[in-house]
Structure 1
Amino acid sequence: MTVSLPLSDIAVTTLALTLAGAFGLLLGKLQIRKIGLGIGGVLFSGILVGHIAARLGIEFDGEVMHFVRELGLILFVYTIGIQVGPSFFASFAKSGLRFNIAAIGIVLGGVAVTLGIYAVADLPLPVLVGVMSGAVTNTPGLGAAQQVLGDAGYPGSEVAISGMGYAMAYPFGILGILASMFLIRFLFGIVVEREEAAYEAETRSGEGALPVMDVMVTNTNLDGITLGEVPDLFDQGVVASRMKTGEELVVPSRDVVLHVGDCLHLVGPKEKLHAMKLILGKEIDAPISTKGTKLTWQRLVVTKEKVLGKSLRELAILEGHGVTVSRINRAGVELPAQAGSTLAFGDIVTVVGAKEDIATVAGQLGNENARLQEVQFPALFFGIALGVLLGSIPLAVPGLPAPLKLGLAGGPLMAAIILGRIGHWGPFTWYMPPTANHALREFGIVLFLAVVGIVAGDRFFETLLDGDGLSWMGYGILITLLPLVVVGALARVFGRFNYLSLCGVLAGSMTDPPALAFAVSMSKTGAASMAYVSVYPLVMFLRILAPQVLVLLLAAGAAG
């Protein structure tokens, strides 16, 4: 049956994409016990649209579909990179390092299981990498796989099969993460309430936000010297934000003279506060508050271009305006304010001082909250251009038969991570409001999944019911479950991971928001979210890189 529509080819393609997107997003919102397909609903909606179109004899322009798919992928991975860039390298510190080691183990475990399946099963390479990406619910990985398959010489019809493999494995990819959480909980007899109490105790003794301490000066050797002469008080990670001398509260600048009996309100890492206490005197319980004094404190937002990338010393904020900067909040991470600390767009700076002095500093920093809602479009387009160029550079890797390229998935992602970390260069500011970032990211992934679904829909039901679809599902289950359960058990036994944090690592290792939502619902501590955020950037990069390496290795082996 062939239906002729009174529409141009572009109009027909646009209609199919928008219908797949609209109904797919609605499908993804349907939940059973807080479990749903999420953005994956667009894939299955696209499959249905593609199936109906094939039955009606409607064809789509292949070049247009290919362009839309790649554009959607670029937007998706670029916005992810901009979001995680500021915290990407910090995610390897302390507990984040343990989390990332476990997540790397899960990624490598999935690759190992995939290679094992390839060795024992007669599975086409496009199907294999599609099943692997679906089993780990990683859409950018599918995009990277499809691109490298095309570069390796596979025809478009075979590349499209990878989308079917992805769709077959995807549903259990979500359920498998939840199943692994339940299995680990059962195997180790875990009681969530105990894990919650243990995490809260650990957090209280750890470093979340920057700790504070009120200290009275009892060291007579310090009597009569200036604060600038006190060892390690300035530029060593500890900041004195308020000082009480007698009954007067003053701003503790370097030239203020210190006396025995004076009290200082210190901000900084726990171990450095302890060291400073040993130098100054003793900790006191009486808070040094600005209430009822001429001093006050305020959070200011950095929005003025001329201060970006400059240090507090260059701006003379610490000593030149009669104020103290106690901390800098960057992308949710609190940093101690030192003279050498540089400022980035969107930083939230906590300032203590007199109102008129704070107003002067506010004018210098910008403090224009409305600017935080503006999208920096020149930086967006320039960043994507850099990402495309970066993805096109051939990288010679020992052991691979052909140069490796980051491609249109890895290139924009890596460029965005680096640019997001830099924050500012010349006329470009790589900051994106959270709402704009979310909108562009959703728009990009909807376009990508709609195209993948429509292209795969032609033969999806035939493959599922009369072909090898069920066996592909089985392979996907193995790729999902084995690495999660094995690494999860090892992390619990040898790494002594808190179960709530472990659930966040499991969800993050699959870059799966529905699984994170389920893990978060178990507790109000935020442990799962913290672990998820710690592993997400590195895992996303590895999930994009892994299919490319597999295709190059296995395609070369098949040719040999």
Structure 2
Amino acid sequence: MEWLYSLFFGSGIAHAVLTFALAITAGILLGRVKIGGVSLGITWVLFVGIALSHFGMTVDGDVLHFVKEFGLILFVFSIGLQVGPGFFSSFKQGGLQLVGCAAAIVLLGVAVAYAIHVATGTPIPTMVGVLSGAVTNTPGLGAAQQAYTDASGIDDPSIALGYAVAYPLGVVGIIASMIFVRYALRVKFEQENEALAALSREHKLASKVSIEFNNELLDGRTVAYMRDLVKRQFVISRIMRPDGSVAMADADSTVHQGDRLWVIADAEDLPAIVAFFGHEVEMDDVAWGNNTPDSELVSRRILVTRSEINGKKFSDLRLRTKYGINITRVNRSGVDLIPYQGLELQIGDRVMVVGPRSAVEQTAKVLGNSLKKLDQPNLLTIFVGIALGVLLGSVPLLNVPQPVKLGLAGGPLIVAILIGRFGTHFHLVTYTTQSANLMLREVGIALFLAAVGIGAGDGFVDAILNGGYRWIGYGVLITVIPILIVAVAARLWLRMNYYTLMGLIAGSTTDPPALAYANATAGNDMPAVGYSTVYPVVMFLRVLTAQIFILFAL
């Protein structure tokens, strides 16, 4: 039976794989248990890892470090790819406000840690470790250790020990703060969903309206002439003549008084366009469709699935000229875009095409329209992105006195966001199915939590019994006080949506388990968008403040 003992308590690859598998399996099973309707979910993997390590199931340090960092990279990279297409528009819609709130949480955490140092006499290096653990920020821990070693010439083990003791309840405290805010402020998910839907409609990039044309000065002019005159992006999809006949519109179509136009444009541009052409009339999609002669004119959403189309502009494809169709909208990651000649198509785009049935079918062949092709993974983009992310995360940004870097989480996240938004410029296929993205995300966070737990378990109990239990309380204060102050202010004064608020809390503490909990609770991408919006700035601030805090003590 020596082989069995060696498998569980020895070393080697088989032992490491078994230890990680047991930690993740048991953690996932425990995560299904709900107490009072609340579950910590996959966070249980962390505590199972601590327990296994405490009882002797440890893993080689190099292996542990690799698994932890690689798991975190997979997690943040999959998030970046998912939110990338809508990231910059979301930043314009309140992003600065989010960053300001996140920075307030960071600075309040430092202030609380310093106040505890003054009140209790706990050494600053230890408090910096507790601070990093309380906000689950591993790069901050590494920056603090490096700054202390370079400045003093020796290591201080209390930095890492404070981190390990405070980290578990830091994870719990962040999630518990989300739950407390939810019940204390009486958040109702039904109302949040309604508010989110209203916000989505408000910021929708493409809206439809029916207009009766009565501008005498433009009578008989072409659509192209009027587009140049208005100088706004819009598409006239169909024209209904006074006799009730419907025709598909193109740039050469002429418009006369009494015609009715089906116009698609930015919501903010619609009032000006309506006033320019005439006045709005009530006609829904069915009314336009029912008046189509002989059902020859059809509209269909076509999926872009051919890799040759990825990154191509509409002007390159010349679809309207070749097939006599009209493209009225492009839906990308749930957002409707106004089509124009310079718009670059991406794999996974849904293009609304209007035209004769045969022409629409020909267009579908050109664009692909094959769901099966979307199921194929695009590993090239993922690993190219990870490589670029590691390079970016390793670039020194500031020297105070040690280089401040984005690290192996911040770099890949930023690159993933940029690839998700601009990857088609370099002919990279950025589309991944929701199930594939979720699989990468869950595998990454599970590996990360298991590695952190296994690494923190050795000596964990001894540290607590020898006075480290006080650090747990300090860590809870550092975690909870800043979050509650900013969360209440953001909710009551800034009227922030609760789903976005959860992403803000998770991002301001750079806490992947909290984001995983927020995503599962919300059932939408709003927490991930909030997390990704604040994460790069917060990562920089966490590293910078940790180093300054250490140098302040020397």
Q: Normalising by structure 2, what TM-score?
A: 0.86
Query: What CA distance in whole angstroms lies between the structure 2 residues aligned with 1:295 and 1:127?
Result: 72
Name the structure 1 match of 2:409: 409
Mapping for residues 114-125 of structure 1, pairs under 5 Å:
114-118=113-117, 120-123=119-122
1:433 aligns with 2:429: no
Query: What CA distance in whole angstroms lies between the structure 2 residues aligned with 1:348 and 1:338?
Result: 15
Counterpart of 1:253, as a letter, is: D
Mapping for residues 293-312 of structure 1, pairs under 5 Å:
293-312=295-314
| Structure 1 contact 253–319 (Cα < 8 Å) conserved | no
Deviates more, 1:105-114 or 1:331-340: 105-114
SS at match of 2:344: coil
1:488 aligns with 2:491: no
Counterpart of 1:248, as a letter, is: S
Cα 1:514–1:13 shift into 2, 3 Å: closer
Query: What CA distance in whole angstroms lies between the structure 2 residues aligned with 1:515 and 1:59?
Result: 27
| Structure 2 contact 311–427 (Cα < 8 Å) conserved | no
Counterpart of 2:88, as a letter, is: F
SS at match of 2:298: strand
Deviates more, 1:83-92 or 1:493-502: 493-502
Name the structure 2 match of 1:419: 419
1:261-308: CA deviations, max 9, x gaps?
A: 111112222231111111111111133422453111111222223332
| Structure 1 contact 50–455 (Cα < 8 Å) conserved | yes
Counterpart of 1:177, as a letter, is: M
| Structure 1 contact 107–539 (Cα < 8 Å) conserved | no
Query: What CA distance in whole angstroms lies between the structure 2 residues aligned with 1:486 and 1:297?
Result: 51
Deviates more, 1:540-549 or 1:41-50: 540-549
Name the structure 1 match of 2:281: 284
Query: What CA distance in whole angstroms lies between the structure 2 residues aligned with 1:358 and 1:406?
Result: 47
| Structure 2 contact 58–454 (Cα < 8 Å) conserved | no
Name the structure 2 match of 1:172: 173
1:532 aligns with 2:516: no
SS at match of 1:265: strand
| Structure 1 contact 383–412 (Cα < 8 Å) conserved | yes
Query: What CA distance in whole angstroms lies between the structure 2 residues aligned with 1:99 and 1:406?
Result: 19
Query: What CA distance in whole angstroms lies between the structure 2 residues aligned with 1:74 and 1:554?
Result: 27
Counterpart of 2:12, as a letter, is: D
Name the structure 1 match of 2:163: 162
Cα offset, 1:491, TM superposition: 3.2
Cα offset, 1:457, TM superposition: 1.1
SS at match of 1:239: strand
| Structure 1 contact 505–531 (Cα < 8 Å) conserved | no
Name the structure 2 match of 1:368: 370
Mapping for residues 28-67 of structure 1, pairs under 5 Å:
28-53=31-56, 60-67=59-66
Cα 1:21–1:177 shift into 2, 3 Å: same
Mapping for residues 369-384 of structure 1, pairs under 5 Å:
369-384=371-386
Deviates more, 1:232-241 or 1:175-184: 232-241
1:214 aligns with 2:210: yes
Query: What CA distance in whole angstroms lies between the structure 2 residues aligned with 1:118 and 1:355?
Result: 74
Q: Please, which runs of 5 or more residues in structure 1 have no aligned partner?
A: 521-525
SS at match of 2:249: coil
Cα 1:135–1:36 shift into 2, 3 Å: farther
Query: What CA distance in whole angstroms lies between the structure 2 residues aligned with 1:488 and 1:60?
Result: 38
Name the structure 2 match of 1:240: 236
Cα offset, 1:364, TM superposition: 2.2
1:273 aligns with 2:308: no
Name the structure 2 match of 1:82: 81
Query: What CA distance in whole angstroms lies between the structure 1 residues aligned with 2:17 and 2:521?
Result: 37
Cα 1:177–1:552 shift into 2, 3 Å: same
SS at match of 1:32: coil
Query: What CA distance in whole angstroms lies between the structure 1 residues aligned with 2:28 and 2:182?
Result: 26
1:19 aligns with 2:18: no
1:123-154: CA deviations, max 9, x gaps?
A: 56676456445544x5xx33x23543565445
Query: What CA distance in whole angstroms lies between the structure 1 residues aligned with 2:449 and 2:166?
Result: 13
Mapping for residues 68-147 of structure 1, pairs under 5 Å:
68-118=67-117, 120-123=119-122, 128=127, 131-132=130-131, 135-136=134-135, 138=136, 141-142=137-138, 144-147=139-142
Indicate which of 518, 521, 528 corresponds to 1:516.
518
| Structure 1 contact 72–445 (Cα < 8 Å) conserved | yes
Query: What CA distance in whole angstroms lies between the structure 1 residues aligned with 2:335 and 2:197?
Result: 21
| Structure 1 contact 174–514 (Cα < 8 Å) conserved | no
1:183 aligns with 2:184: yes
Query: What CA distance in whole angstroms lies between the structure 2 residues aligned with 1:261 and 1:80?
Result: 50
Name the structure 2 match of 1:264: 261
Cα offset, 1:509, TM superposition: 4.9
Cα offset, 1:326, TM superposition: 1.5
Cα offset, 1:21, TM superposition: 1.0
Name the structure 1 match of 2:152: none
Cα 1:301–1:419 shift into 2, 3 Å: same
Cα offset, 1:390, TM superposition: 1.5
Cα 1:79–1:497 shift into 2, 3 Å: closer
Cα 1:271–1:24 shift into 2, 3 Å: same
Query: What CA distance in whole angstroms lies between the structure 1 residues aligned with 2:231 and 2:369?
Result: 25
SS at match of 1:299: strand
Name the structure 2 match of 1:523: none
Cα 1:271–1:392 shift into 2, 3 Å: closer
Counterpart of 2:452, as a letter, is: V
Name the structure 1 match of 2:456: 456
Counterpart of 2:340, as a letter, is: Q
Query: What CA distance in whole angstroms lies between the structure 2 residues aligned with 1:442 and 1:199?
Result: 29
Cα 1:328–1:165 shift into 2, 3 Å: same
Cα 1:134–1:351 shift into 2, 3 Å: farther
Query: What CA distance in whole angstroms lies between the structure 1 residues aligned with 2:430 and 2:369?
Result: 18
Query: What CA distance in whole angstroms lies between the structure 2 residues aligned with 1:518 and 1:419?
Result: 25
Query: What CA distance in whole angstroms lies between the structure 1 residues aligned with 2:414 and 2:548?
Result: 22
Cα 1:31–1:278 shift into 2, 3 Å: same
Counterpart of 2:326, as a letter, is: T
| Structure 1 contact 504–530 (Cα < 8 Å) conserved | no
State how many pairs are aligned. Answer: 535
Cα offset, 1:80, TM superposition: 2.0
Query: What CA distance in whole angstroms lies between the structure 2 residues aligned with 1:305 and 1:320?
Result: 20
Cα 1:480–1:368 shift into 2, 3 Å: same
| Structure 1 contact 323–353 (Cα < 8 Å) conserved | yes
1:225 aligns with 2:221: yes
1:319-368: CA deviations, max 9, x gaps?
A: 54322221112222221112222212222211111222112222222222
| Structure 1 contact 96–534 (Cα < 8 Å) conserved | no
Deviates more, 1:81-90 or 1:152-161: 152-161
Query: What CA distance in whole angstroms lies between the structure 1 residues aligned with 2:146 and 2:320?
Result: 55
User: RMSD value over aligned CA atoms?
Assistant: 3.3
% of aligned pairs identical?
A: 36
| Structure 2 contact 165–471 (Cα < 8 Å) conserved | no
SS at match of 1:380: helix
Counterpart of 2:222, as a letter, is: T
Cα 1:419–1:80 shift into 2, 3 Å: same
| Structure 1 contact 129–547 (Cα < 8 Å) conserved | no
Cα offset, 1:70, TM superposition: 2.1
Query: What CA distance in whole angstroms lies between the structure 2 residues aligned with 1:82 and 1:418?
Result: 8
Name the structure 2 match of 1:473: 472
| Structure 2 contact 393–410 (Cα < 8 Å) conserved | yes
Counterpart of 1:539, as a letter, is: V
